[in-house]
Structure 1
Amino acid sequence: MNKKNLITLAILSGTAFTAPVVAQQANTNAEAEVEEVLQVVGSRLSLRTATDGAAPIDIISAEDLAATGMTDTAKALQYAVPSFNFPSSSITDGSDAVRPASLRGLSPDHTLVLINGKRRHSSALVHLNGTTGRGSSNVDLNAIPMAAIKRIEVLRDGAAALYGSDAIAGVINIVLKDNASGGDVSLQAGQTHKGDGEQWRASGSTGFSVGEDGALTLSAELHHKNRTNRAGLDTRQQYPLLDNGEPDPREETFDRKSFHIGAGEYENASLFANFDMSFADGRLYAFGGVSDRKSESGAFYRRAIQSNTLTEIYPDGFLPILAPDVQDYSAYVGYEWFVGEWTLDFSGGLGTSEFQYNVENSLNASMGPELTPTSFDAGTLTNEETNVTFDAQRFIPFYNNSDLSVAFGVSYRDNTYQIEAGEEASYIDGGYQDRPAGSQGFTGFKPESEVNQSRDNVGVYLEAENQLTSNFLWGAAVRYEDYSDFGDNTSWKLSGRYDVTDRFAVRGAVNTGFRAPSAQQLYFTNISTLAVDVNGETVLEQSGTFNSLSPITEALSIPDLQPEESESVSAGFVWNGYDGLAVTVDFFQINIDDRIILSNQVRPDDSPQVAQALSTVDAENARFFINAVDTKTKGLDVVVSKSFDLAEYGDLKTQVAYGFNDTEIESVNLPPLFDGIESVLFDYDEAIRMTDSTPAHSSSIGFTHTLGNWRTDLRFNYFGTYIIGDYDEGETPAEANETYGPNWVTDLSVRYAFSNNLSLVVGGQNIFSEYPQEQPVQGVFDQIFKYPNTNSPIGFNGAYFFTELEYTF
């Protein structure tokens, strides 16, 4: 097997798992191409077709991604794979720029992301607000342009026994384009039905021949979005009363649509490369890319009447703008060669994510109108990850004239996390009229928050797979990891598949897994001004997030973070029916112990120990990362596909996909200091966020019709109900629940090919302009935030219509 074959589908879980694939191929050629590749690389260990494996995987081709009309990789994946969730959010600080995504209803950091079979680094950002996955960091899929993607493979099964940490929910492998000639360019433009959110995307990819059989593929993308705004009217008093007690006349002319709630403004430039060629007696390969993005999103509007406003600068108040610069860099290089019957592979890679907080249209009120800037560098987060791996595999004669596929490997990974303080004006208390300190919208990182910490780990794995008989496939894997901070872990997996008939097979797997605390969770620390709920009222407080290195964490006996550990089991069946009908059904259960959460804030009045600890820091409350919760997730995935030959009416391909997941909290285990006040650290809202903030039911129904030069793609996407907890003192849990959904979203696109090279696409997403239900109005902010600003799977922009011109060569 050459290197190209080894890395294109290296997302197995310790055994062969070329699952029944229901790929939504655009045409017969694309379908044949995917099938041909999988016949070679259906497993890292053995040569199998797409329907011979022991675990479920989805194959989404470049044509499938393009057919969604989506301009973001993660959003396109959400509409292609029902078990994948990529909710929209607004006014959630850095999470507006790097949004969390999750698989099977678990945390964003429970899914491992690979590129060409190699581990991808995660974002430096920690999600701190009320989004799904609060307290986690995830891989920024939107840093990988769709122009560079050949296909995406989604393994819906645990894979820690092969890859180590993070692969509890599954694995996403992004395979880059690898053509030695030809290419494509495209230009898309569109806007929402409201006339805002205009965007354009220019992208292209081209391949070059290198040597006798090598290839270099370059892909680039430029993408610009204007913001959308679905805010309601702010009816609050904006100006101080006049001396006679009457309202200021400016109240009548003030623009009450002062908030920006919707998609932020966005600019992204990215370039990726993929290289492969014969060298000496083996193959040399390399790939990598760079992404540079700037987004702009609003914070809470500061009224002229508030103390955090200086009317000398902003007479009518102001809306702070968070404008982070997000940069991702990655590079991998490797060499594959052969020694006797062994195939050997040595590779190394470096990935870096930088998240620089910039705040614009703001001020530091404590510095006074003469000294304060109006824009700030509020600090930078950096996450670096270095990976070095050595893999070896071969076939050994085994029982009953079968071959035993054996592989083993060693890996080394180093993680470094850095926090760089912002400029002094972004956090200083200037003492002016006892006004709030720090840049409004996002307070800068202080020097005492600076961090430069690292940790490393070594992993060793062994896996085996065997087609014992023509009907029975089995596999096993074990992996040992040793971390420099918390110690070691051993994970294992067993899987099998039995073909009852030529058309019907059963399959299943049982495995253990783990997720090491991320470097972000270990070392992130900050003190900033946050809007927090106190006795049912939203107030601004100096809120501290403290890591395990902080004296306050030690004073409160917060234990060091330990790995999350999982046990999972899956079982299902495959039926390859007649005339191209394919059905896969898979059940699963995943138990996770010691899940890491970002706690709620503790305050001085919670206990004397808390009061004493907070007296030593410049914060009014504190929160921590802790191993606190055991959960159980049950689910079901169903995929059905069928192709129809309509004779003179063309060809029709159909697919129905359904995903169900339900997470329950088995137990909550908090530090002894908080016995009796458990709800302080882990309250009802956080429990809802972990269990019900994503739809339990989701599905899609897709039709692709081709007739001559015409192709039509029609999709109906279903998202079930989800809950946003909003518990206030005195309410019952049932009264606190705000339930949204279900929603149906319809997408339609029509493509016309003027020639073999030139095509025009006209389409729409959410063409009937479906919105979430409006929030129940219980206060002024429910009028401003008409729709839930976190966790909506369908967003809150309504319909989007676009035109795209494509040229291939």
Structure 2
Amino acid sequence: MYKSLVSLAIVASISTPAAIAAQDAQNLERIQVIGSRIALRTATDSATPVDIITSEQLEATGITETAKALQFAAPSYSFPFSSITDGSDAVRPASLRGMSPDHTLVLVNGKRRHGSALVHLAGTLGKGSSNVDLNAIPMTAIKRIEILRDGASALYGSDAIAGVINVVLKDSSEGGSIAAQVGQTYEGDGEQIRLGVNQGFSFSDEGFVNVSLEAHQKNATNRAGFDSRQQYPTLADGSPDPREASFDRKNHHVGDSDYDNYGLFLNAEQGLESNGKLYAFGGMSKRNSSSGAFYRRALDSRNIPEVYPDGFLPQISPEIIDYSLVTGYEFELGKWQIDSSAGFGSNSFEYNVENSINASLGPISPTSFDAGTLSTTELNLNVDASTYYDFANNSDLLVAMGVTWRESGYQIEAGQEESYIQGNYQDKSGGSQGFGGFTKESEVDEDRTNLGLYIELENQLTDDFYWAAAVRYEDYSDFGSNTSWKLSGRYELTDNVALRLTTDTGFRAPSVQQLYFTNVSTFFDPDPVTGEFIPRESGTFNQLSPIRTELGIPDLKAEESHSYSAGIVYTGDNGFAVTLDAYEINVDDRIILSGSIDKESSPAIAAILEGTNADSARFFMNAVDTKTQGVDLVITQGIDLGEFGDLQANLAYSYKETEIESISLPSILNGLEDELFDNIEVVRMTEANPKNTANIGFTHQYDDFTTNLRFSYFGEYTVGYSSSEVEYGDRWTTDLSTRYRATDNLAVTLGVQNLFDTYPEKRPEDNNFNGIFVYPLTNTPFGFNGGYYYLDLRYTY
């Protein structure tokens, strides 16, 4: 639908080089950005808020993960940290404008990208959602990232309720770069190294192939406290086991996972004599990580002392394989420009559990397990056409239309039998500790298709007034159809001041993950008296399960939204620019992963769950209507310091707040509706994201030195626990780096992230699980690793 034409000269409206773009706008070629087909001079010319973040700006953060670097470049985008959250430790949820992770559509080179197979089940932001894994796209391959902060379902289809992120791949036809970064935390852990190679090739005057390779290895960090609990059974005479005195009480792993990631991406294009062109892009990545679950003490009933005399820490070690390929042909047919493309993407998440045991099998149990694999596939076929017609006031009317066909598939493969069976050894619990395997009954191989049709109009009616309109119809094989629309306009009050307005409707179809994911997993609930975590087997039952219908849970349907935004843009002649945008997003029938209905609540429910190995049941369901309101402010300024160089300054601020307008729970067996959406989930949806985030950045260029200084602000946020809500205070972090261009080709950067070693507020003493969990396990906005320093070497040729 969209093929980007922006050169590397175009820079972000929120990042420090934006001031340069404002100063030099008159000298830049007109460009095309996401959300519009009419060429613009800068992103501030758009009728909707668009941020353009170049690869140089991502690299200037010194952050080695694409999603995390994006968070520090765009305050409207959040990528909170979590630990001991099963698979979510490896693929963390991210969100735009305070919405759910699956409310943001991700494109690569303007084409829809497939999502992760993982479903976030633990207590993270966006529980019950799946999102695109941006870290599967290596930073080495990225030319820039465009963020459309506006609803765009009418333009791009399902999922674009909060906005759209478009990743544009590098497209140089010659030259390249070799980059290496090494670093570690102030604590001496979290050592990492990233190597990246990019090379452009030209086999003809009209074509290129650009290839990127990246290898990234990162060691774990650990900020767990000391476990003060008794570890070993009391001796026969009632005295403590002498091993208590020598036991290493830092037995949990709370922090970043071990991480190995390898990626290969390519972007290619070949012009044809007929003025058409062929293009292809895509890549593959493989990631292995390892993170800890809850420690099983030596005296734990789930332990086998003959195997683990001192207890054990189960390790969840998934292998994630992701690959994609898009091919297309652009050509002219009469006065129409046609873009036809086919794209395929796949993501698999293989659960491996190590340093574990199936206690019900006794000492003969394996200690490592294949616990099963989740995978998702997506096939997209698109034909898009656009042309111009003469219109009123001697202007041109752009008319675009197209058709999209998509097939989405979801599979669950069972793990090895020992990972889920219930043995008969001493009545101990079955399944691999840390993460119980997917059973044969959990296996799924389902797909769905949808057909989309759209038409879009754009017109620069006068030098001062631009307007656009779009309508889209989509029909899904599993739940029905939806029609969405969008209207937007921009009016220049003066040469420097412009107003922009948009309103749109949108939708998000239930994902195939939400439709078909099913499993019985071990979760831990605190004992109300002792505070000890008690394991419970919780079953997640999908749309195919008869248990769902027996309890009265209705079929899933699409979420629907209606959004409004209004903004003012000021662009000065002296490098000063301001954008201020306010928005409101109303979403009806938001899909949640419900709370658990316990079998102990009634004999009838116990009878329904008989034979499932589950103590409780939960479901995906449409249950909540929400309203999200926010404001985004961006200010940039370029300053000529004369003999002291140039200074670029920027401030970006984002405010977002979500309120629950209504809760609509189905009438289920035994009147247990209140257990489907409790206060913990209310807090997670409305308070887990900081309402206020901001960054202030300065880039100083002097001779061969470039210095970046960035202050990032993360406001207060709240985490709901079973017994209380805890509000955590706001924090500032400071990042500083200096790059020295030693030669025309070689640059050396020394940098520090979180210069002053800032940590989040600690958990209350009565809520830290015997001192083990020093910081909140989920939703900490910038993590709790403390300071990090690094060295970056970059050779460009």
Tell me by how many angstroms 1:615 deviates: 2.4
**Which segment is superposed worse, 488-497 or 665-674?**
665-674
In structure 2, relative to structure 1, the CA distance for the partners of 1:35 and 1:635 (3 Å cut) is farther
User: Residue in 2 aligned with 1:721?
Assistant: 716
User: Residue in 1 aligned with 2:281?
Assistant: 287
Query: Does structure 1 conserve the Cα–Cα contact (< 8 Å) formed by 2:154 and 2:485?
Result: yes
| Distance across 1 between alignment mates of 2:670 and 2:460 | 54
- Give per-residue Cα distances to partners, 1:353-378, cap 9 Å, x unaligned: 00000001111111111x21111000
- Give per-residue Cα distances to partners, 1:7-34, cap 9 Å, x unaligned: 3579xxxxxxx99934433996999799
Read off the aligned partner of 1:807 and give its amino acid letter: Y
Tell me by how many angstroms 1:678 deviates: 3.3
Tell me by how many angstroms 1:780 deviates: 6.0
Residue 747 of structure 1 pairs with residue 755 of structure 2: no
User: Residue in 1 aligned with 2:584?
Assistant: 589
| Distance across 1 between alignment mates of 2:468 and 2:767 | 58
Residue 488 of structure 1 pairs with residue 481 of structure 2: yes
User: Residue in 2 aligned with 1:806?
Assistant: 794
User: Residue in 2 aligned with 1:361?
Assistant: 355
User: Residue in 1 aligned with 2:307?
Assistant: 313
| Distance across 1 between alignment mates of 2:333 and 2:543 | 47
Residue 49 of structure 1 pairs with residue 52 of structure 2: no
- Give per-residue Cα distances to partners, 1:399-421, cap 9 Å, x unaligned: 11111000000001100000000
- Secondary structure in 2 aligned to 1:254? coil
Equivalent in 768, 771, 777 of residue 756 of structure 2? 768
Read off the aligned partner of 2:689 and give its amino acid letter: T
**Percent sequence identity over matched residues?**
56
Tell me by how many angstroms 1:185 deviates: 0.8
Matched ranges for 1:199-238 at <5 A? 199-238=192-231
Equivalent in 153, 158, 180 of residue 187 of structure 1? 180
Query: Does structure 1 conserve the Cα–Cα contact (< 8 Å) formed by 2:227 and 2:770?
Result: no
Runs of 5+ unmatched residues, structure 2: none
- Secondary structure in 1 aligned to 2:393? helix
| Distance across 2 between alignment mates of 1:34 and 1:290 | 40
Residue 244 of structure 1 pairs with residue 237 of structure 2: yes
Read off the aligned partner of 1:781 and give its amino acid letter: F
- Give per-residue Cα distances to partners, 1:303-344, cap 9 Å, x unaligned: 010111111111100000110000100000000000121100
Read off the aligned partner of 2:612 and give its amino acid letter: V
Query: Does structure 1 conserve the Cα–Cα contact (< 8 Å) formed by 2:225 and 2:774?
Result: yes
Query: Does structure 2 conserve the Cα–Cα contact (< 8 Å) formed by 1:57 and 1:153?
Result: yes
User: Residue in 1 aligned with 2:771?
Assistant: 783
Query: Does structure 2 conserve the Cα–Cα contact (< 8 Å) formed by 1:321 and 1:362?
Result: yes
Matched ranges for 1:423-442 at <5 A? 423-442=416-435
In structure 2, relative to structure 1, the CA distance for the partners of 1:27 and 1:759 (3 Å cut) is farther
Read off the aligned partner of 1:269 and give its amino acid letter: Y
Residue 300 of structure 1 pairs with residue 294 of structure 2: yes
Runs of 5+ unmatched residues, structure 1: 11-17, 729-735
| Distance across 2 between alignment mates of 1:464 and 1:693 | 39
User: Residue in 1 aligned with 2:317?
Assistant: 323
User: Residue in 1 aligned with 2:123?
Assistant: 130
**Which segment is superposed worse, 30-39 or 738-747?**
30-39
Tell me by how many angstroms 1:37 deviates: 6.2
Tell me by how many angstroms 1:692 deviates: 0.6
- Secondary structure in 1 aligned to 2:627? strand
User: Residue in 2 aligned with 1:688?
Assistant: 683
Equivalent in 633, 637, 645 of residue 642 of structure 1? 637
| Distance across 2 between alignment mates of 1:265 and 1:482 | 42
Query: Does structure 1 conserve the Cα–Cα contact (< 8 Å) formed by 2:196 and 2:214?
Result: yes
| Distance across 2 between alignment mates of 1:742 and 1:38 | 41
**Which segment is superposed worse, 427-436 or 141-150?**
427-436
- Give per-residue Cα distances to partners, 1:75-130, cap 9 Å, x unaligned: 00000000100001110000000000000111000000000000010000000000
Read off the aligned partner of 1:700 and give its amino acid letter: N
- Secondary structure in 2 aligned to 1:778? helix
In structure 2, relative to structure 1, the CA distance for the partners of 1:296 and 1:35 (3 Å cut) is farther
- Give per-residue Cα distances to partners, 1:436-464, cap 9 Å, x unaligned: 10111110000000000000100000000
Read off the aligned partner of 1:6 and give its amino acid letter: K
Residue 758 of structure 1 pairs with residue 755 of structure 2: no
- Give per-residue Cα distances to partners, 1:372-406, cap 9 Å, x unaligned: 11110000000001101000000000111111000
Matched ranges for 1:530-549 at <5 A? 530-533=523-526, 535=528, 537=531, 538-549=533-544
Query: Does structure 2 conserve the Cα–Cα contact (< 8 Å) formed by 1:225 and 1:265?
Result: yes
| Distance across 1 between alignment mates of 2:557 and 2:526 | 29
Query: Does structure 1 conserve the Cα–Cα contact (< 8 Å) formed by 2:646 and 2:700?
Result: yes
User: Residue in 2 aligned with 1:83?
Assistant: 76
- Give per-residue Cα distances to partners, 1:126-177, cap 9 Å, x unaligned: 0000000000000000000100000000000000001110000000000000
| Distance across 2 between alignment mates of 1:34 and 1:612 | 73
Residue 7 of structure 1 pairs with residue 4 of structure 2: yes
Query: Does structure 1 conserve the Cα–Cα contact (< 8 Å) formed by 2:53 and 2:144?
Result: yes
Query: Does structure 2 conserve the Cα–Cα contact (< 8 Å) formed by 1:26 and 1:64?
Result: no
- Give per-residue Cα distances to partners, 1:52-72, cap 9 Å, x unaligned: 221001110011000000000
User: Residue in 2 aligned with 1:529?
Assistant: 522
Equivalent in 323, 332, 348 of residue 326 of structure 2? 332
In the superposition, the TM-score normalised over structure 2's length comes to: 0.97
Query: Does structure 2 conserve the Cα–Cα contact (< 8 Å) formed by 1:19 and 1:55?
Result: no
In the superposition, the TM-score normalised over structure 1's length comes to: 0.95
In structure 2, relative to structure 1, the CA distance for the partners of 1:43 and 1:405 (3 Å cut) is farther
Query: Does structure 1 conserve the Cα–Cα contact (< 8 Å) formed by 2:499 and 2:568?
Result: yes
Two-structure CA RMSD over aligned residues (Å): 1.9
Query: Does structure 2 conserve the Cα–Cα contact (< 8 Å) formed by 1:556 and 1:609?
Result: no
Q: How many residues align?
A: 791
Tell me by how many angstroms 1:673 deviates: 1.6
- Secondary structure in 2 aligned to 1:181? coil
Tell me by how many angstroms 1:677 deviates: 3.7
Matched ranges for 1:573-722 at <5 A? 573-673=568-668, 677-722=672-717
Query: Does structure 2 conserve the Cα–Cα contact (< 8 Å) formed by 1:418 and 1:451?
Result: yes
Tell me by how many angstroms 1:616 deviates: 4.7
| Distance across 1 between alignment mates of 2:68 and 2:34 | 26
